[in-house]
Amino acid sequence: MMEIKARNYPVFISRNISDEINRYFNAKFFSKLIVLADENSLTYCYPQLVAAIPAFEDAEIIEIESGEQNKNIEICSQLWATLDELGVDRQSLLINLGGGVIGDMGGFVASTFKRGISFINIPTTLLSQVDASIGGKVGIDLSNVKNLVGVFNNPEAVFIDTNFLKTLDNRQLLSGFAEMIKHALIADTSHWQKINKADIKTFADFDSLIIASIDIKNRIVQDDPVEKNIRKALNFGHTIGHAIESYFLEQDNKQPLLHGEAIAAGMICETYLSGQITGLPGYSLKEITAFISSIYPAIPISKSDFERLTELMFHDKKNVNKQLNFSLLSAIGKCEINQTASLDLVKEALIYYTESY
């Protein structure tokens, strides 16, 4: 077992997480436990937990349908109403069992219900284990714009068991891997080298890479919990990546994109901007582009999409005074925050992406 101290809350990482969860419940009192899950986390993860954690036997279960399109205010309304019907009070605990959608939305619902009840995260996807479950950003999409409504609020604790990743398909694992690539690029050259050698066909021996990634995210978040400065580095790839993700969410005829797939495309675009704005050397631009494009299939984007994509970028929360704000690389392992780019340059970056394949 390994414990990482996050800001005011512990992150437990273990291959037998039930022991840690039992210890946690033995030391705490809650008037009621509510498990929020989707059909996959309920099928693949809940049974092992309930078999090993006596406190879970009396827990209420709320199941929602999986998918980013459900991370919205309508589902939140239903969840608040259900918590009320179940008699949830301020001594109750919401247990977010699932990926980033469950963690983001469950955290938001808990943070706002009766002005806030406690919650813990048991992340069950690679993406949520290395990124979404840590750092206290909770929220939902509004009119398909990513994470437009939310708050900063920390969980009571995070329990990570990499055994849960066994039932994730390779596409979902690669989605999480994109955030691990980001962590390496913004903060740690040696992590980048290890990430380059990772076995992404089988994801074998990944625990140490996962721990290193969590550690990078945690360190950055500890230094700047409410994103006044250095935490913005974690948004590398996300100004353009979120716009791509939102764009595909709003187009019913487009194939659904996973979060990490959109971020991978965003990172290629923003690596191009890094070459233009923050002096990222040409050889690093080539190295990063070749690595990411060798892993993630090309997302079909054409010039006719550029206008809406750039409109969506103006919803990004980092923007100030209607200026697009980027976190860009000056070298592999080094990120410069609060960079701006003209629309023409952003369009060049999108063209660079389409030509990278």
Q: Can you give the binding site for ligand NAD, defined by CB under 6 A?
A: 38, 40-41, 44-45, 66, 68, 71, 98-102, 104, 124-125, 127-128, 131-132, 135, 137, 146-147, 164, 167-168, 172, 175, 259
What's the min distance (Å) between Cβ of 167 and ligand NAD?
4
What's the min distance (Å) between Cβ of 61 and ligand NAD?
15
| Cα end-to-end span (Å), the chain | 42
Rounded (10°) CA dihedral 61, 62, 68, 74: -170
- Closer of 123 and 275 to ligand NAD (Cβ): 123
- Closer of 136 and 275 to ligand NAD (Cβ): 136
Name the residue number minimizing CB distance to ligand NAD.
100
- Closer of 246 and 325 to ligand NAD (Cβ): 246
Helix (H, G, I), strand (E, B) or coil at 338: strand
Residue type at 298 in one-letter notation: A
Q: If you count them, how many residues does the chain have?
A: 357
What's the min distance (Å) between Cβ of 99 and ligand NAD?
2
What's the min distance (Å) between Cβ of 129 and ligand NAD?
9
DSSP H stretches of helix in the chain: 17-26, 39-44, 46-52, 73-85, 100-112, 126-127, 170-187, 189-197, 207-223, 238-250, 259-277, 282-295, 306-313, 343-355
What's the min distance (Å) between Cβ of 4 and ligand NAD?
16
- Closer of 269 and 280 to ligand NAD (Cβ): 269
Contacts from 223-231 at CB under 8 Å and sequence distance 24+? Answer: 225/7, 225/135, 225/136, 225/152, 226/152, 227/152, 229/337, 230/337, 231/135
- Closer of 145 and 331 to ligand NAD (Cβ): 145
- Closer of 166 and 197 to ligand NAD (Cβ): 166
* 150 sits in which H/E element: strand 145-152
- Closer of 184 and 280 to ligand NAD (Cβ): 184
What's the min distance (Å) between Cβ of 220 and ligand NAD?
11
Q: Report how far residue 187's alpha carbon sits from residue 207's, in angstroms, rounded to the nearest whole number.
A: 19
Nearest Cα to Cα of residue 4 among 93, 102, 129: 129
What's the min distance (Å) between Cβ of 73 and ligand NAD?
14
